[in-house]
């Protein structure tokens, strides 16, 4: 789905990524690489193929948009390095886009590990009255792209059935991206009337609430 914010063109993708068409930049939040291995190590029964699904998903969306830059809006890696880091290095070596990490609360791996594989590491990024952060931050005069809260929405049918879906959550001066990674969970949004929720299905983006 194509939308316009402050005269800039953006595309919301069913992967949970957002493509800044005007700049040819791709924004991705909360991938949480290493989380599957971390949980499996502690006895949580998560399918091993979820690791491969994360990297396949990253590859597909980057190949689809062919961005000049990819901005990871925090929580790229879930915690300390584990063997998924090897797969990540291989993925980075195959990626032709410039990679930038905006640090999130889970990004505890030493910055040098990223800079050694040519990934820039920043606390935030500002350009043209747009502010890229991990945790949502409202600043007068700036439009904020962020992640962190893993927004989700519940759709209810007439028969009482319900469906929980990830979503893009847009407020007046802010867009919160859904978590990109597998097994990341969702925080159900309690929105105001003026907010816009873009629910993500496997096939399309659906506007759930619009002012």
Q: CATH number of the domain at 13, please.
A: 3.60.21
Q: What is the mean pLDDT of residues 70-76?
A: 96
Q: What is the mean pLDDT of residues 73-81?
A: 82
pLDDT band at 45 (very low <50, low <70, confident <90, very high): very low
Our count of domains for the chain comes to 1
Helices (H), the chain: 35-41, 49-65, 84-94, 111-115
**Which tens digit of pLDDT belongs to each residue from 105-122?**
888 899 999 999 999 999
Choose between 115 and 38: higher pLDDT.
Answer: 115
Choose between 158 and 83: higher pLDDT.
Answer: 83
Token look-up 């091993």 returns 48
Choose between 194 and 60: higher pLDDT.
Answer: 60
Calpha distance 164→146 (Å, rounded): 21
Contact 15, 60 (CB under 8 A): yes
To the nearest whole percent, how much of the chain has pLDDT over 70? 86
Which tokens hold the place of 128?
A: 């043209």
* pLDDT higher than 90, residue 73: yes
Cβ burial of 185 (10 Å; 0-12, 13-18, 19+) is exposed
pLDDT band at 126 (very low <50, low <70, confident <90, very high): very high
Min mean pLDDT across 7-16, 45-54, 91-100, 139-148 is at: 45-54
Domain that includes residue 175, residue range = 2-209
Predicted pLDDT at 49: 64
Predicted pLDDT at 38: 47
């Amino acid at each position: 789905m194509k939308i316009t914010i402050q005269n800039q063109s953006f595309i919301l993708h069913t992967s949970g990524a957002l493509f800044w068409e005007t700049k040819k930049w791709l924004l991705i939040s909360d991938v949480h690489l290493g989380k599957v291995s971390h949980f499996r190590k502690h006895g949580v029964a998560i399918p091993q193929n979820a690791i491969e699904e994360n990297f396949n998903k990253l590859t597909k969306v980057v190949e689809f948009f062919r961005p000049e830059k990819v901005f990871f809006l925090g929580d790229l890696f879930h915690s300390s390095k584990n063997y998924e880091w090897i797969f990540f290095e291989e993925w980075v070596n195959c990626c032709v886009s410039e990679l930038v990490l905006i640090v999130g609360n889970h990004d505890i791996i030493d910055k040098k590990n990223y800079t050694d594989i040519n990934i820039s590491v920043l606390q935030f990024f500002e350009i043209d009255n747009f502010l890229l952060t991990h945790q949502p931050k409202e600043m007068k005069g700036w439009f904020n792209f962020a992640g962190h809260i893993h927004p989700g929405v519940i759709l209810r049918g007439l028969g009482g059935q319900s469906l929980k879906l990830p979503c893009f959550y847009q407020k007046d001066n802010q867009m919160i991206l859904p978590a990109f990674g597998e097994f990341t969970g969702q925080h159900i949004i309690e929105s105001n009337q003026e907010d816009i929720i873009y629910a993500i299905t496997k096939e399309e983006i659906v506007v759930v609430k619009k002012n």
